[in-house]
Chains A and B, each alone.
Chain A
Amino acid sequence: MKLLTCPVNGTRPLSEFVFGGEMRNMPDPAQASDSAWAAYVYNRTGAPGLKKEWWFHSPSGTWFVAERNTLTDQVARTYLYGQEDKA
């Protein structure tokens, strides 16, 4: 991957982007057990595959979601958070 498509600014060189890590759902802190919370804080899906990730286009300050295969490093699609259906 040398280029990445920002949903707002189009295809740009990778050097303009910052990786924000795997997208994860936060459990309800009031309901979650201590160990479920610790697992949320630390554990990750480390095995390769298609993942939803946070990426940041730094010149424009845009956070968005990329669906990327972490084995082949190919991006299936990118979209703004909450606009998955339109992508």
Chain B
Amino acid sequence: MPLRLLKYALSRKHPAPRFFRDCTEPKKSYDAVIIGGGGHGLAAAYYLAKDHGITNVAVLEKGYIGGGNTGRNTTIVRSNYLTPEGVNFYDASVKIYEGLSEELDINLFYSTRGHFTLAHTESALRTMRWRAEVNKHVGVDSYVVGPDEISKACPQLDISCSGKAPIVGALYHGPGSIARHDAVAWGYARGADSMGVEIFQNTEVTGLDIQSGKIKGVHTSRGYIATNKVLSAVAGFTPRITNMAGVDTPIVIHPLQACVSEPMKPWLDTILVSGSLHVYVSQSSRGELVMGSSLDPYEVHSTRSSLDFVEGLTSHMLDMFPFLSNVKIVRQWAGMADMTPDFSPIMGTTPVEGFYLDAGWGTWGFKATPISGKTMAATMANDQAPELIKPFRLSRFEDYDLTGEKGAASVGH
């Protein structure tokens, strides 16, 4: 890499390096079409090509790749969930992430920081113990710690939270990490493109062609494309696509907001989450504090941000870190979270043959990008979901067989 950089600097021309071909003319048909050029859609394309040799694939993205929730999230990667099904699944993702910079030959700034979920009450601590036991059982590094250990890891934290909500303990999760989110999308895009996948930006799917319960093609802003396999990986736009397919789901859309402070010298090297104070924070490799909270309280299909959010969030941040009172917020934004009743995703086959769903990623799907790409590719190739994602099938609602992760995913994404 340094040599390439040197050559580039010394050459007379400085063309912007392209990560993937600029495709604008889709073919008449593909073996598979993926709707949505976020991390999930691009990862599925990459693994379709790499694991299953299916390379005649088009990824259709209505905006630019990574411009959805992939480029809006606060990049926390962890596997300390509540159900054995969830822990197993997210753990498989963390393991892929750990080697992903190397595999995709792109620096994802994957940074393992350790993750504390703070408990301010006995009942919160009880959930932490429950999670720790489930995690240990599945083989994930996760245990309950006391205030002293938290203070040692983060001396700047006011353990009494300005006397309002003293911290009584935390769930500690060593593998908790952060990463550069857009690089994940770009890395998968380049990898998929190099194996033959075509990526179309500014290409919107406007309708699905379904005949006798089977998918036959998609209507797009660049014309009709025939195909027998379609994956919907559109996160906050899922209900619009499932509407086209006539598939009912429990998904509702709520905005989720986040913000960053001005950059500071590195002082926070762990990830901290407080469910009671509705805040979580980490410091990015650029020095900004990346902060977020829980969902906006009602359904809106929009990415507007609000003053209420920053006011509420910063007041709780000041309870935890009074010394930040002069630090400025420099940016805020929102994404559209596709929420499910049990805080688990919806993945796999649907009642429409050849139409596959990767959705219900709500506030927690960035960490799952690699494993969902891999398992959705397998689902598309074999027309059958692998064991790992069966607990997330759409039909679980009809069977009253939910995979409840609310206790592990409502504030700490």
Contact = CB atoms under 8 A, between A and B. Distances in A.
A44 B250 contact: yes
B297 A39 contact: no
Contacts of A87: none
Interface string A17-43: 011001000000000001100110111
Contacts of A45: 239
A19 B398 contact: no
Contact of B299 (A15, A35, A70): A70
**Residue of A22, A34, A41, A43 most packed against chain B (CB within 10 A):** A43
A44 B218 CA distance: 24
In this complex, the interface size class of chain A, counting residues with CB under 8 Å from chain B, is 20 to 34
Nearest to B238: A46
Nearest to A45: B239
A48 interface: yes
Contacts of A70: 253, 299-301
A73 interface: yes
Contacts of B338: 46
Nearest to A51: B299
A18 B299 CA distance: 12
Interface residues of B, number: 25
Interface string B37-50: 00000000000000
A49 to B, nearest CB: 9
Given A15-B308, A35-B398, A38-B397, A43 B298 contact: no
Nearest to B306: A2
B400 A38 contact: yes
Contacts of A18: 297
Interface string A43-87: 111111000010000000000000000111100000000000000
Interface string B228-241: 00000000001110
A73 B302 CA distance: 9
A44 B238 CA distance: 12
Given A38-B400, A48-B240, A43 B299 contact: no
Nearest to B402: A42
Contacts of B276: none
A76 B299 CA distance: 16
B54 interface: no
A46 B298 contact: no
B248 A47 contact: no
A17 B64 CA distance: 37
A38 B6 CA distance: 62
A86 B398 CA distance: 39
Interface in B367-413: 397-400
Interface string B149-180: 00000000000000000000000000000000
Contacts of A73: 300, 302, 304
A43 B249 contact: yes
Contacts of A39: 248, 398
A66 B277 CA distance: 30
A43 B252 contact: no
A4 to B, nearest CB: 10
B308 A44 contact: no
B51 to A, nearest CB: 31
A46 B397 contact: no
B305 interface: no
B239 A46 contact: yes
Contacts of B252: 22, 44, 46
A73 to B, nearest CB: 5
Contacts of B347: none
A23 B88 CA distance: 37
Contacts of A43: 248-250, 397
A46 B297 contact: no
A44 B248 CA distance: 8
A38 B297 contact: no
User: Considering the complex of A and B, which 9 residue pairs feature the smallest CB-CB distances, nearest first?
Assistant: A46-B239, A19-B298, A48-B301, A42-B397, A47-B239, A42-B250, A43-B248, A47-B243, A38-B398
8 contacts: A34-B398, A44-B250, A44-B252, A48-B253, A70-B253, A71-B301, A72-B302, A73-B302
Given A42-B397, A43-B250, 15 more contacts: A19-B298, A42-B341, A43-B248, A43-B249, A44-B249, A45-B239, A46-B238, A46-B243, A46-B249, A46-B251, A46-B253, A47-B243, A70-B300, A71-B300, A73-B302
Interface of A: 15, 18-19, 22, 34-35, 38-39, 41-48, 53, 70-73
